[in-house]
């Protein structure tokens, strides 16, 4: 095992990147790792033999040696006959070794490794137990030399990103930094969503695509983890990387008939990804309707399928198109609608719109703030606010009528809501829930107050009614009527 | 008394007006005060009406529930703001539930219904998959988990228990073809109840594999697992191949079993129950998981709704599902404009159907029995699976994907090695990976 030849084969870790054909037999060339000389002698050792550290044992003192030469030299000390094998002058037959692990690539003779030390290390690394652990980081190694080599460099060279993350490896640092940059620049670029939208709008025109280059690159960039990301800033330098295709615009699905504008190519593929929206039934929407987030007239025929929808022709049975649309399988197609959301999003008729989640939380808070300790009949809202209490909703008997604690809170609520200036309205109690009640108008009560009252204690509605009547009697309003039926307690007449 | 006031609201019901208007529902003449309600107030009022109505329904007080529903319908609308839409679908679910207590009426009412064209439903679901990132994130994460688990494997067999979106597998095929050691021989077995979906998938995947020159086989299985049990023989798992099983929104359907008439599960609390679960044990899912374990899969990826919609009592489910679907409706609101018909269709066909199933159905019909990840983890561990933490790179890809949506409502977090995707603070879906353990 000449040292010179071992290094080349040591590099054959597990898989070899290139698959070159073996060179002609008569030339004594160094082969690619894992692609041995075809007429070399193949040696298959058992795992035990392979891993045996000291194969050559002195018969006198049982001392083991890794090399036969060393054993021979040792035997001289015992005054035993020794023979040092000289390197023979005749052409030495090349030996290649097989990995004993059957599932390994190098188990096959055509992929044998040429060096014994190499195969030993390979076997340890791939199929062996990792016994050596770096102290600084937690990386484990099976081969001693690997471990030593790592310990030397571990922690010595560090890369720090602006965001504070520390890296010991250059490649992971670059990957992170590309991504990190994306974050930084995205936040800087989040000024003009409509502009991005307009770029998408102008897809059909080449010139628009030109203008849209940068923003499409942004979109493109979002999905790119590769270190080559940094070069993508300028259009036209689009280098596909062998990264997972999920983040990879599908440039291999070129369905377009458009002139292959090189610098625009990445845009197209990313936009193709962007345009991977299913065919929609456009039956009910006119092409000119401004409703059209999904009005695909925005997205011209960059895919062969969308061409017809661009005319606003309704598409029935999108089954066929769907499959081709999704055959490119780009899961990273960005949701264009979200771009629109910033401009069209909250279409509130007037004033700020609370999200449903916020409304629910508010309702829950209003429920929990009630001091109704009605025992089994805790108010719906009270339980709604917390995790639902199983036992309170046994069956039937929810309406036990609350205790009389709610009155004060009602008063508070009414005051606060009156302050909010809701205009008085006809009592909804009378007309809506409490059909049994004749309506007088409750002058002082606004609709929300009544809603508030309802929120107070839904279950103990009888109590509400009672307290309402008290209130009304206090404020001199019309009597609600004798009907004391709680909301849910019985049938209304 | 009722007639006097009630008639005014019943006969001049606002219901007729609503389908005509695309804007927020017009207030009715009978309830002038409704005009005064600001959207927030209306939203709060709707919440309370919903809670009230459902407690009435749970109590069996159908007449009062009817009145509550009437009021809700005066305010709710599938074209309105978020809360109005939620209220519309929940009240529909409650009405469905009420109607089921009269089986004759229910059946007659539904007897002439024409089911939606399969193609439309498929298209709408695909749109939902594309539009909201949740399912995509799950795909990205599970694909990465698969690629990592199958490193070095030459024969890979993938079983998709609820195969709906070819996009996920197309991407996986591309990932596998880009491996340094070259692509494996790939076999995908897809289970779905619609033949059309599987046909589409077969085309899409075969094309992709052919373009990339990957040895590929596709094995479709048409079976409605809600109706009949999946025959594991059909899966044709061979020895020597590395098996990955993917379950997207599927496991929870197996929890459907006969409930007791009061709306609870037929739980066996005695010591004979072998499973030390905090929830009543469900034989269906247990036997299914055991069968999967019997295949000794290298990887099992489970994606489920991260919310407990399997409570015994209606009110529990209502509370939880209100919060959950409110988050999803909010998400839709910030993604699509209100006038979008597609949004309405998605809300109706995807979300509305789930809501209806959770609220209106019981027993074996109630298939949307979502449960939280910790319960699933318990079940999976009992069945002999060990959790595989999701890798840093998988989470990274997921985060990038979410950022690409340019909407800061989407969040993802790592929970003990599993991923939970959230809208604002509300967990929506969870993705977890498991492996066969002896």
DSSP string for A322-375: HHHHHHT--TT---HHHHHHHHHS---SSSPPPPHHHHHHHHHHHHHT-----G
pLDDT tens sequence across A304-332: 443 333 343 444 443 444 344 333 334 44
What pLDDT sits at residue B281? Answer: 65
What pLDDT sits at residue B35? Answer: 63
pTM of the model: 0.51
Nearest-Cα residue of chain A relative to residue B22: A291
Cβ contacts of A487 on chain B, cutoff 8 Å: 52, 64
Place of tokens 């977090």: B413
In 3D space, the residue among B65, B329, B307, B424 whose CA is nearest the CA of residue A388 turns out to be B307
Q: Determine the Cα–Cα distance for residues B316 and B151; give it in Å rounded to an integer.
A: 44
What pLDDT sits at residue B406? Answer: 80
A144 shares contact with chain B (CB less than 8 Å): no
In 3D space, the residue among B424, B390, B411, B427 whose CA is nearest the CA of residue B306 turns out to be B427
pLDDT tens sequence across A362-413: 888 887 665 443 333 335 555 565 443 333 333 333 333 333 333 333 333 3
Give residue B4's pLDDT band: very low, low, confident or very high (50, 70, 90). very low
CB A431 within 8 A of CB B5: yes
Q: How far is A493 from chain B (nearest CA, A)?
A: 5
* Pairing of β B155-160 and β B185-192: parallel
CA angle A471, A477, A481 (to 5 degrees): 85
Separation of CA A90 from chain center: 62
Q: Which of A355, A449, A457 to mutate to test the interface with B (most CBs of B within 10 A)?
A: A355
CB A20 within 8 A of CB A32: yes
CB B126 within 8 A of CB B404: no
Phi, psi of B24 (to 5 degrees): -60, 145
- Mean pLDDT, rounded, for B88-98: 94
How far CA A206 is from CA of A17, A133, A203, A267, in Å, comes to 40, 57, 7, 11
Determine, for residues B181 and A323 on separate chains, whether the beta-carbon distance falls below 8 Å. Answer: no
Determine, for residues A488 and B339 on separate chains, whether the beta-carbon distance falls below 8 Å. Answer: no
Determine, for residues B120 and A183 on separate chains, whether the beta-carbon distance falls below 8 Å. Answer: no
What pLDDT sits at residue A119? Answer: 85
**Is the per-residue pLDDT at A132 higher than 70?**
yes
CB A279 within 8 A of CB A299: no
Q: How many CB atoms within 10 Å of residue B267?
A: 16
Q: Determine the Cα–Cα distance for residues A472 and B151; give it in Å rounded to an integer.
A: 76
B9 shares contact with chain A (CB less than 8 Å): yes
Phi, psi of A366 (to 5 degrees): -65, -35
Q: Determine the Cα–Cα distance for residues B8 and A438; give it in Å rounded to an integer.
A: 13
Which residues have a Cβ under 8 Å from the Cβ of A247 and sit 6 or more positions away?
A223, A224, A225, A332, B397, B400
In 3D space, the residue among A285, A181, A191, A190 whose CA is nearest the CA of residue A233 turns out to be A181
**Is the per-residue pLDDT at B224 higher than 50?**
yes
Cβ contacts of B204 on chain A, cutoff 8 Å: 323-324, 326-327, 329
A388 shares contact with chain B (CB less than 8 Å): yes
* Partner-chain residue, chosen from B33, B207, B403, that has the shortest CB–CB distance to A425: B33
Share of chain A above pLDDT 90, in %: 0
Give residue B298's pLDDT band: very low, low, confident or very high (50, 70, 90). very high
Determine, for residues B39 and A422 on separate chains, whether the beta-carbon distance falls below 8 Å. Answer: no
Nearest-Cα residue of chain B relative to residue A397: B59
Give residue B137's pLDDT band: very low, low, confident or very high (50, 70, 90). very high
Chain-wide mean pLDDT for chain A? 54
**Is the per-residue pLDDT at A18 higher than 60?**
no
**Is the per-residue pLDDT at A271 higher than 60?**
no
What pLDDT sits at residue A87? Answer: 67
Which residues have a Cβ under 8 Å from the Cβ of B363 and sit 6 or more positions away?
B256, B257, B258, B259
Residue A235 three-state SS = coil
A398 shares contact with chain B (CB less than 8 Å): yes
Nearest-Cα residue of chain B relative to residue A246: B171
A252 shares contact with chain B (CB less than 8 Å): yes
What are the structure tokens assigned to B66, written together? 């009817």
Give residue A468's pLDDT band: very low, low, confident or very high (50, 70, 90). very low
Nearest-Cα residue of chain B relative to residue A218: B404
Share of chain A above pLDDT 70, in %: 29
Tell me which residues of chain A, numbers 15 to 54, contact chain B at a CB-CB cutoff of 8 Å. 15, 17
Q: Between B208 and B14, where is the model more confident?
A: B208
Determine, for residues B133 and A329 on separate chains, whether the beta-carbon distance falls below 8 Å. Answer: no
**Is the per-residue pLDDT at B121 higher than 50?**
yes
- Mean pLDDT, rounded, for B313-325: 92
Beta bridge partners of B155: B185
Cβ burial, residue A312 (10 Å; 0-12/13-18/19+): middle
- Mean pLDDT, rounded, for B125-143: 91
A190 shares contact with chain B (CB less than 8 Å): yes
Q: Determine the Cα–Cα distance for residues B166 and A205; give it in Å rounded to an integer.
A: 31
**Is the per-residue pLDDT at B221 higher than 50?**
yes
Residue B369 three-state SS = coil
Q: How many CB pairs below 8 A link A and B?
A: 341
Q: Determine the Cα–Cα distance for residues A38 and A343; give it in Å rounded to an integer.
A: 68
Determine, for residues A338 and B126 on separate chains, whether the beta-carbon distance falls below 8 Å. Answer: no
B196 shares contact with chain A (CB less than 8 Å): yes
CA dihedral A25, A30, A34, A35 (to 10 degrees): -20
What pLDDT sits at residue B433? Answer: 95
CA dihedral B286, B288, B290, B295 (to 10 degrees): -170
Tell me which residues of chain B, numbers 267 to 296, contact chain A at a CB-CB cutoff of 8 Å. none
Rg (CA), chain B: 23
Determine, for residues B59 and A223 on separate chains, whether the beta-carbon distance falls below 8 Å. Answer: no
Separation of CA A480 from chain center: 58
Give residue A42's pLDDT band: very low, low, confident or very high (50, 70, 90). confident
Determine, for residues A332 and B404 on separate chains, whether the beta-carbon distance falls below 8 Å. Answer: yes
* HSE toward the beta carbon, residue B16, CA cutoff 13 A: 6
Cβ burial, residue B166 (10 Å; 0-12/13-18/19+): buried
Q: Determine the Cα–Cα distance for residues B335 and B346; give it in Å rounded to an integer.
A: 12
Q: Between B288 and A90, where is the model more confident?
A: B288
B435: enclosing H helix or E strand: strand B426-436
Q: Which of A104, A220, A244 to mutate to test the interface with B (most CBs of B within 10 A)?
A: A244
ipTM for the predicted complex comes to 0.75
DSSP A375-431: GGG--HHHHHHSS--GGGG-SSTT-----TTHHHHHHHHHHHHHHHTPPB---HIII
What pLDDT sits at residue A280? Answer: 38
CB B37 within 8 A of CB B71: no
Tell me which residues of chain B, numbers 58 to 117, contact chain A at a CB-CB cutoff of 8 Å. 58-61, 63-64, 67, 71, 81-83, 86, 117
A464 shares contact with chain B (CB less than 8 Å): no
Q: Determine the Cα–Cα distance for residues B299 and B249; give it in Å rounded to an integer.
A: 17
pLDDT tens sequence across A162-181: 776 777 777 777 777 777 76
Cβ contacts of B342 on chain A, cutoff 8 Å: 280, 293-294
* Partner-chain residue, chosen from B60, B170, B329, that has the shortest CB–CB distance to A329: B170
Nearest-Cα residue of chain B relative to residue A459: B52
Cβ contacts of A279 on chain B, cutoff 8 Å: 123
Q: Determine the Cα–Cα distance for residues B154 and B152; give it in Å rounded to an integer.
A: 6
Determine, for residues A317 and B119 on separate chains, whether the beta-carbon distance falls below 8 Å. Answer: yes
Cβ contacts of B64 on chain A, cutoff 8 Å: 487-488, 490-492
Determine, for residues B143 and A243 on separate chains, whether the beta-carbon distance falls below 8 Å. Answer: no
Cβ contacts of B267 on chain A, cutoff 8 Å: none
* HSE toward the beta carbon, residue B216, CA cutoff 13 A: 23
Lowest mean pLDDT among A87-101, A183-197, A432-446, B227-241: A432-446
Determine, for residues B341 and A459 on separate chains, whether the beta-carbon distance falls below 8 Å. Answer: no
Q: How far is B29 from chain A (nearest CA, A)?
A: 12
What are the structure tokens assigned to A250, written together? 């599908």
E-assigned strand segments in B223-338: 242-248, 259-260, 264-265, 299-305
Determine, for residues B174 and A244 on separate chains, whether the beta-carbon distance falls below 8 Å. Answer: yes
Chain-wide mean pLDDT for chain B? 84
What pLDDT sits at residue B382? Answer: 92
Determine, for residues B1 and A330 on separate chains, whether the beta-carbon distance falls below 8 Å. Answer: no
- Mean pLDDT, rounded, for A470-481: 46
Cβ contacts of A442 on chain B, cutoff 8 Å: none
Determine, for residues A381 and B51 on separate chains, whether the beta-carbon distance falls below 8 Å. Answer: yes
Determine, for residues B337 and A222 on separate chains, whether the beta-carbon distance falls below 8 Å. Answer: no
A155 shares contact with chain B (CB less than 8 Å): no
What pLDDT sits at residue B387? Answer: 93
Which range has the top average pLDDT, A94-108, A142-156, A464-478, B121-135?
B121-135
* Partner-chain residue, chosen from A252, A326, A490, that has the shortest CB–CB distance to B167: A326
- Mean pLDDT, rounded, for A78-104: 76
In 3D space, the residue among A253, A261, A228, A231 whose CA is nearest the CA of residue A242 turns out to be A228
What pLDDT sits at residue B297? Answer: 92
Q: Determine the Cα–Cα distance for residues B10 and B73; give it in Å rounded to an integer.
A: 11
pLDDT tens sequence across B368-411: 999 999 999 999 999 999 999 999 999 999 999 998 888 888 99
Q: How far is A436 from chain B (nearest CA, A)?
A: 5
A280 shares contact with chain B (CB less than 8 Å): yes
pLDDT tens sequence across B138-184: 999 999 999 999 998 889 999 999 888 899 999 999 999 988 888 89
What pLDDT sits at residue A81? Answer: 78
Phi, psi of B316 (to 5 degrees): -60, -50
Residue A238 three-state SS = coil
Q: Determine the Cα–Cα distance for residues A358 and A370; give it in Å rounded to an integer.
A: 19
Q: Which of B6, B31, B38, B78 to mutate to test the interface with A (most CBs of A within 10 A)?
A: B38
């Amino acid at each position: 095992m000449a040292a010179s030849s071992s290094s080349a084969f040591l590099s054959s870790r597990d898989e070899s990147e290139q698959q070159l054909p073996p060179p002609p037999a008569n030339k004594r060339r160094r082969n690619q790792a894992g692609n041995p000389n075809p007429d070399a002698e193949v040696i298959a050792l058992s795992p035990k033999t392979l891993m045996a550290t000291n194969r050559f044992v002195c018969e006198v003192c049982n001392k083991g040696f890794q090399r036969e030469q060393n054993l021979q030299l040792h035997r001289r000390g015992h005054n035993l006959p020794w023979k040092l094998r000289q390197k023979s002058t005749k052409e030495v037959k090349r030996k290649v070794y097989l990995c004993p692990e059957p599932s390994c690539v190098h188990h096959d003779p055509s992929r044998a490794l040429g060096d014994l030390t190499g195969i030993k290390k390979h076997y340890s690394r791939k199929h062996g137990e990792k016994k050596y652990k770096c102290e600084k980081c937690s990386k484990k190694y099976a081969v001693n030399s690997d471990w030593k080599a790592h310990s030397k460099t571990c922690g010595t060279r560090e890369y720090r990103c602006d965001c504070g993350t520390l890296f010991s490896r250059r490649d992971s640092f670059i990957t992170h930094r590309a991504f990190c940059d994306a974050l930084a620049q995205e936040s800087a670029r989040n000024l003009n969503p409509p502009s991005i939208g307009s770029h998408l709008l102008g897809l059909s025109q080449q010139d628009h695509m030109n203008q849209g280059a940068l923003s499409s690159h942004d979109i493109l960039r979002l999905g790119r983890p590769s270190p080559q990301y940094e070069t993508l800033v300028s259009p036209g330098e689009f280098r596909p990387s062998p990264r997972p295709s999920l983040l990879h615009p599908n440039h291999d699905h070129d369905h377009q008939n458009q002139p292959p504008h090189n610098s625009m190519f990445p845009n197209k593929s990313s936009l193709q990804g962007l345009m991977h929206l299913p065919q929609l039934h456009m039956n009910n929407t006119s092409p000119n309707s401004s409703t059209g987030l999904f009005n695909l007239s925005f997205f011209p025929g960059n895919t062969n399928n969308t061409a017809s929808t661009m005319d606003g022709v309704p598409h029935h049975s999108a089954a066929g198109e769907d499959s081709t649309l999704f055959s490119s399988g780009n899961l990273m197609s960005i949701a264009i609608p979200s771009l629109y959301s910033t401009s069209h999003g909250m279409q509130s008729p007037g004033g700020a719109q609370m999200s449903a989640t916020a409304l629910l939380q508010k309702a829950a808070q209003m429920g929990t703030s009630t001091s109704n300790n009605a025992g089994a009949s805790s108010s719906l809202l009270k339980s709604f606010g917390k995790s639902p209490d199983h036992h309170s909703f046994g069956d039937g008997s929810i309406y036990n009528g609350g205790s009389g604690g709610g009155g004060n809170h009602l008063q508070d609520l009414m005051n606060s809501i009156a302050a909010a200036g809701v205009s008085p309205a006809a009592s909804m109690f009378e007309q809506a829930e409490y059909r049994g009640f004749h309506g007088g108008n409750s002058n002082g009560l606004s609709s929300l107050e009544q809603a508030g009252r309802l929120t107070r204690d839904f279950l103990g509605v009888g109590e509400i009614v009672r307290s309402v009547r008290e209130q009304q009697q206090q404020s001199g309003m019309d009597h609600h009527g004798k009907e004391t039926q709680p909301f849910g307690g019985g049938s209304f007449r | 008394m009722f007639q006097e006031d009630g008639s005014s609201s019943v006969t001049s019901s606002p219901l007729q007006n609503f389908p005509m208007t695309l804007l927020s529902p017009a207030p009715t003449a009978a309830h002038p005060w409704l005009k005064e309600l600001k959207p927030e107030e209306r939203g709060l009022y709707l919440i309370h009406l919903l809670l009230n109505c459902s407690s009435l329904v749970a109590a069996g007080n159908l007449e009062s529930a009817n009145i509550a529903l009437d009021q809700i319908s005066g305010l709710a609308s599938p074209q309105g703001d978020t809360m109005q839409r939620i209220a519309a679908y929940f009240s529909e679910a409650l009405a469905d539930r009420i109607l089921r207590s009269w089986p004759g009426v229910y059946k007659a009412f539904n007897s002439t219904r024409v089911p939606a064209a399969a193609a439309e439903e498929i298209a709408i679901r695909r749109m939902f998959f594309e539009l909201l990132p949740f399912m995509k994130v799950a795909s990205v994460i599970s694909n990465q988990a698969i690629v990592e688990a199958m490193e070095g494997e030459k024969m890979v067999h993938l079983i998709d228990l609820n195969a709906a979106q070819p996009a996920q597998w197309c991407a996986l095929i591309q990932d596998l073809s880009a491996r340094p050691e070259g692509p494996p021989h790939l076999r995908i077995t897809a289970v779905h109840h619609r033949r059309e979906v599987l046909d589409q998938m077969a085309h899409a995947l075969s094309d992709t594999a052919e373009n990339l020159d990957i040895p590929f086989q596709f094995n479709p299985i048409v079976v409605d697992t809600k109706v009949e049990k999946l025959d594991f023989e059909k899966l044709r798992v061979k020895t020597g191949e590395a098996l990955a099983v993917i379950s997207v929104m599927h496991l929870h359907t197996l929890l459907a079993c006969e409930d007791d008439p009061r709306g609870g599960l037929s739980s066996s609390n005695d010591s004979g129950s072998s499973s030390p679960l905090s929830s009543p044990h469900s034989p269906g899912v247990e036997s299914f998981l055991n069968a999967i374990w019997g295949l000794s899969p290298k990887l099992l990826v489970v994606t489920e709704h991260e919310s407990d919609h399997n409570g015994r009592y209606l009110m529990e489910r209502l509370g939880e599902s209100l919060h959950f679907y409110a988050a999803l409706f909010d998400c839709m609101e910030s993604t699509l404009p209100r006038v979008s018909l597609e949004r309405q269709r998605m809300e109706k066909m995807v979300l509305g159907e789930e809501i209806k199933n959770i609220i209106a159905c019981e027993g074996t019909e109630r298939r949307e029995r979502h449960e939280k990840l910790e319960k699933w983890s318990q079940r999976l561990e009992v069945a002999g699976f060990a959790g595989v933490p999701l890798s840093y790179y998988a989470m990274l890809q997921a985060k990038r994907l979410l950022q690409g949506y340019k909407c800061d409502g989407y969040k993802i977090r790592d929970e003990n090695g599993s991923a939970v995707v959230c809208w604002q603070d509300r967990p929506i879906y969870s993705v977890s990976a498991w492996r066969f353990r002896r």
